[in-house]
């Protein structure tokens, strides 16, 4: 498979950015971006390399262990190579891992489930029961000698309970409560704050002065036997019991899993409230195949065991790409920039939009279309952009400027900046109401016919900054709806289903919904049947439009001007990412060819829009008023004055059932 240029360029930028951030984290204990955001970058790179194996390079972060030893600390060559875990973020990832284990090992695996401590990996070496060396992982081959600091941690025994040789692996951590107190002290002393407990733990251990480590609330959990002079435990659970029996600190919060159901139950338990019950930072769980013989069969890749994987909790911060920037209008006419994003899961929900607040916010963070950004969702329904990953910026990305006009503002669409504030607003009053009517019409029966999206629902969604323009409707998620008052599970699911159905839309119904001046049902049908595709209509000149029978110069000019408008063209591009637009073909000869029909009253089964569409598909024309030229009217309940006029003029009046029979003739 040929690798697209954009995929190759993005993979290269991802490798460079990840390598930079990992180096800073593992060698300098500095985190310019959060661990969640770094995980997100690594996950995207892994997906790209999985799709295009040609992109894998020997120095890719997916292939090597991060971290070189600090020059001021003594080097230690590991007797057993050290690894890092591959990460999983979804149930699908775990199912794929389980399938690989089954395929390679040839058995149905059971798992030991452990908490993934967010700390610094440590390797302890004992000879005849005496602690000889404590080393960091380093690059997996050579680590740093930090024995002098590890000896200050009370829970780490200097003497084992038996005089054996042992290499054990585990994690050094700083308690969460201790992390808060440490940063409070550093703030008082004017020192830079630690970004997270992991960096604080690493910064404490990777020091020459053991007094620093001794003064901080550090702990250790051991979780693997790398080598022993005694008989090797036969399961992962037995390994933990073996370590504990030797007097080493082992986390008691682990469980056995006979099935993936057990895995997911354990993950959900610790992703929820139980996560706050422990005084150490955890960012997921680790699955390890129980059987030692199966572990040996599965072996290792260049950087990770094939018998274990880290199942991460939903990230609070992720990376994604800004695909476009548009405006949304608030109740007071205030305009807020919104980033349209490559869909991404953050804090357990999928999002495709983020607020950009105002012009000054965008300028301060230098956010551009095409940028890779860090996104977070901290309590609000719609997330916000934290920062730009400048290393990932594509060439030629231009700064975004607040427009002077917008279709959201009605009238001439003029925009003004509020004096003395960072906010912009529409000059025309009532813009929110006007836009809510446009959106309700777009979603209504005449256009896309989205069941459950009436005027009040549209207003609610606008008030919570979830929709502002037509394309926003198709980015809505059930999670966003459930966060709103009045939306329970069933109602939210029904609306999401209705939106999904509306994604397949005939071209004429889309044109009706767009609200183009002078384009109603009949004109939309003429345009759709003449051009067949949105691309052809978009490219049509004013003269070509005006020359169509039934269109004329006034409508032709209005349509041409609408499609020339840059904001309308951008809107259509966003819509086309969501919609499957169906061609509309006028019949060369149909049951109603040459006939003109009026629909009036409430029909038993068909909406008026559906009945009119059937007339057109059968070759007929629809009229709004009754005259002597009308072929017949279809009347339902409460037909009103049109029924009376048809009687006066002697125009044929038929029921819905007779109408349907005519269509079948």
Q: What is the pLDDT of residue 356?
A: 92
What residues does 599 pair with on adjacent strands? 634
Q: What is the pLDDT of residue 255?
A: 96
Q: What is the pLDDT of residue 155?
A: 92
Terminal-residue alpha carbon distance, the chain:
53
116 is catalytic: yes
How many Å apart are CA 584 and CA 582, to the nearest integer?
6
Q: What is the pLDDT of residue 239?
A: 96
Q: Where are the alpha helices (DSSP H) in 540-640?
A: 542-546, 552-564, 566-576, 608-617
Q: What is the pLDDT of residue 72?
A: 56
Q: Where are the alpha helices (DSSP H) in 397-503?
A: 431-443, 455-463, 478-482, 489-502
How many Å apart are CA 218 and CA 105, to the nearest integer?
38
For the stretch 228-239, pLDDT in tens is 999 999 999 999
How many Å apart are CA 601 and CA 557, to the nearest integer?
34
Q: What are phi and psi of 229, to 5 degrees?
A: -80, -5
How many Å apart are CA 423 and CA 433, to the nearest integer?
19
Nearest in space to 171 (alpha carbons), one of 223, 215, 212: 223
Give the distance from CA 574 to its chain's centroid. Answer: 17
| Domains in the chain: ranges and CATH | 5-55 (1.10.287.610), 75-312 (3.30.470.30), 317-426 (2.40.50.140), 505-582 (1.10.150.20), 596-664 (3.40.50.10190)
Taking the model in full, what pTM does it have? 0.62
Name the pairing type of β-strands 142-144 and 75-77.
Answer: antiparallel
Name the DSSP letter for residue 76.
Answer: E
What residues does 351 pair with on adjacent strands? 344
Coil, strand or helix: which one is 121? strand
* Cα dihedral sign, 437-401-393-66: negative
Q: What is the pLDDT of residue 491?
A: 92
Name the DSSP letter for residue 53.
Answer: G
Q: Which of 42, 116, 288, 438 is catalytic?
A: 116
| The pair of three-digit structure tokens given for residue 19, joined into one six-digit string | 């390598």
Q: What is the pLDDT of residue 665?
A: 66
Q: What is the pLDDT of residue 37?
A: 83
How many Å apart are CA 188 and CA 70, to the nearest integer?
28
Contact 407/413 with Cβ under 8 angstroms? Answer: yes
What residues does 34 pair with on adjacent strands? none
Contact 458/447 with Cβ under 8 angstroms? Answer: no
Low-confidence ranges of the chain (pLDDT < 50): none
Coil, strand or helix: which one is 78? coil
């Amino acid at each position: 498979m040929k690798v697209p240029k954009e995929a190759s360029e993005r993979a290269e930028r991802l490798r460079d950015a990840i390598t930079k951030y990992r180096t800073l984290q593992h060698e300098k204990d500095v985190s310019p971006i959060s661990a969640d955001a770094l995980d997100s970058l690594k996950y995207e790179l892994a997906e790209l390399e999985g799709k295009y194996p040609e992109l894998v390079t020997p120095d890719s972060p997916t292939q090597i262990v991060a971290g070189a030893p600090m020059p001021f600390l003594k080097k230690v060559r590991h007797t057993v190579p050290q690894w890092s875990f591959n990460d999983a973020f979804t149930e699908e990832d775990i199912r794929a891992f389980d399938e690989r284990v089954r395929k390679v090992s040839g058995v149905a695996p059971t798992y030991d489930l452990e908490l993934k401590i967010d700390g610094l990996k440590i390797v302890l070496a004992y000879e005849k029961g005496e602690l000889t060396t404590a080393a960091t992982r380093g690059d997996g081959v050579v680590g740093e000698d930090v024995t002098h600091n590890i000896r200050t941690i009370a829970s780490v025994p200097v003497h084992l309970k038996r005089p054996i040789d042992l290499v054990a692996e585990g994690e050094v951590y700083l308690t969460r409560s201790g992390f808060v107190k440490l940063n409070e002290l550093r703030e008082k002393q004017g020192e830079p704050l630690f970004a997270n407990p992991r960096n604080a733990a690493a910064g404490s251990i990777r020091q020459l002065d053991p007094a620093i480590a001794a003064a901080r609330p550090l702990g250790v959990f051991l979780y693997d036997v790398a080598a022993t002079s005694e008989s090797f435990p036969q399961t992962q659970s037995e390994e933990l019991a073996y370590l504990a029996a030797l007097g080493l600190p082992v986390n008691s919060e682990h469980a056995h899993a006979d099935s993936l159901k057990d895995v997911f139950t354990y993950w959900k338990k610790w992703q929820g409230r139980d996560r706050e019950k422990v005084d150490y930072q955890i960012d997921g769980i680790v699955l390890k195949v129980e059987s030692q013989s199966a572990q040996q069969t599965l072996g290792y890749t260049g950087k990770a065991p094939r018998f274990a994987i880290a199942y991460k909790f939903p990230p609070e911060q992720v990376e994604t790409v800004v695909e476009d920037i548009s405006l949304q209008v608030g109740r007071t006419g205030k305009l807020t920039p919104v980033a349209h994003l490559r869909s991404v899961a953050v804090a357990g929900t999928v999002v495709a939009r983020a607020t950009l607040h105002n012009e000054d916010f965008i300028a301060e963070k230098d956010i551009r279309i095409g940028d890779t950004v860090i996104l977070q969702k901290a309590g609000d329904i719609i997330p916000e952009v934290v920062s730009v990953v400048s290393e990932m910026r594509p060439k030629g990305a231009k700064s975004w400027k607040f427009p002077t006009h917008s279709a959201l503002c009605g009238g001439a669409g003029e925009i003004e900046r509020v004096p003395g504030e960072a906010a912009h607003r529409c000059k025309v009053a009532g813009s929110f109401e006007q836009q809510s009517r446009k959106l309700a019409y777009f979603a209504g029966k005449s256009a896309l016919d989205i069941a459950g999206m009436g005027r009040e629902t549209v207003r609610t969604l606008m008030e919570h900054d979830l929709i502002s323009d037509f394309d926003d409707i198709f980015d809505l998620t059930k999670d966003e709806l459930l966060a709103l008052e009045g939306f329970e599970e069933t109602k939210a699911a029904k609306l999401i289903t209705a939106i999904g159905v509306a994604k397949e839309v005939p071209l004429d119904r889309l044109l009706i919904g767009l609200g183009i001046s002078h384009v109603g049902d009949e004109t939309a049908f003429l345009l759709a049947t003449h051009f067949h595709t949105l691309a052809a209509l978009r490219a049509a000149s004013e003269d070509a439009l005006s020359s169509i029978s039934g269109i004329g110069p006034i409508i032709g000019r209005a349509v041409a001007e609408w499609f020339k408008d840059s904001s309308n063209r951008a809107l259509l591009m966003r819509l086309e990412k969501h919609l499957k637009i169906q061609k509309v073909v006028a019949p060369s000869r149909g049951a109603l060819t040459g006939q003109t029909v009026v629909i009036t009253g409430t029909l038993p089964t068909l909406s008026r829009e559906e009945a009119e569409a059937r007339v057109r598909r059968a070759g007929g024309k629809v009229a709004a008023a009754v005259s002597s030229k009308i072929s017949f009217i279809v009347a339902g309940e409460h037909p009103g004055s049109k029924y009376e006029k048809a009687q006066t003029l002697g125009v044929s009046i038929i029921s819905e059932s007779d109408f349907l029979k005519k269509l079948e003739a």
